[in-house]
Amino acid sequence: MSSLLIVATSNAHKIKEISQIIGSEFRCIGMRELGQIPELIECGDTFEANATSKVEQLNRWLEQNSEPRAILKSHSEILLLADDSGLEVDALSGAPGVRSARFAATEESTGNASDQANNEKLLTLLEDTPDEKRTARFRCVLALLAYPTESAAQLFSGSCEGRIASDCQGSGGFGYDPLFYPVGHSLSFAQIGSETKNKISHRAQALTQLKNYLATEGGAS
C-alpha cells in the first residue's frame, strides 16, 4: 500500500504544484476527493495560525465522518497538509498578506475574490509607486499532521523575494503570479515555467523542508 497526502484545499493549481514538488513517493489529492468537506475557516492573523487551523479542521472532519474511510484504508500512511500563503508588498505595509486570496472581496462576500480582481486592486493601489519601492515577497507556511494523531502540527515555511510589475505578464501560474518578478529573473512567475518556479518559489522552499523532515524523521515508509 502507498502513502497518501491529503491537501486541505480545493485549489487545483495548488494541488498540482504541491504534487509536482513533493514527488511520486506520495499520492497527492485534494480534500474534495474525500467528500463534501465544508469550507475551511481562515480567521488567523498569521500564515502559521491559518495553516495550523486548516489542517486541524481537516483532521477533525475525518475523525467525525465515515464517508472517506475506504480511501483511507487503502493506504499504509495518511498525512494531512495545509498551506497558507500570500503576497506581502512593502509599500502596502505587508498587505495583502493573509488576505491575499480575499484582497478584492467585498465585506458582504464570504469567499475569495477572483485572481483578476485581486490583481487589479493591487495595481490600482500601487499606481503611483515607483519601481524601486515595489518590493514584495511571497510567503508560504505548511502545516503537517499524521492521521490519526493527537500530536501538534509540524510547520515548514519559505519565502521568495521579488517585485511587483506595473501590468500582468504571462498566462501560467495563478493568483498574483503574472505581477510578481522574483529577484534575479526577468520573467514573471506566470512566464517562468513550472520547472523553474518549483525550484525557487516560496512553496517549493517549504515543501523541500517538509521532504527533508519526512526523510530524517521516518515519515514516509
List the catalytic residues: 84
Using the structure block, give the residue that is written with the C-alpha cell 508588498: 89
CB 86 within 8 A of CB 202: no
Q: Which of 219, 204, 183 has its CA nearest to residue 83?
A: 204
Helices and strands in the chain, H and E counts: 6, 6
Collapse the DSSP code of 95 into the 3-class scheme (helix H, G, I; strand E, B; otherwise coil) and give the result: coil
Sequence-distant contacts of 38-41: CB under 8 A, at least 24 apart: 39/111, 40/8, 40/82
Question: Which contiguous run of DSSP H or E holds residue 206?
Answer: helix 202-217
The Cα–Cα gap between 113 and 42 comes to 14
Distances (CA, A) of 95 to 7, 11, 125, 205: 25, 22, 11, 22
Using the structure block, give the residue that is written with the C-alpha cell 506520495: 26
The Cα–Cα gap between 107 and 31 comes to 27
Instruction: Phi first, then psi: give them for residue 167, nearest 5 degrees.
Output: -155, 165
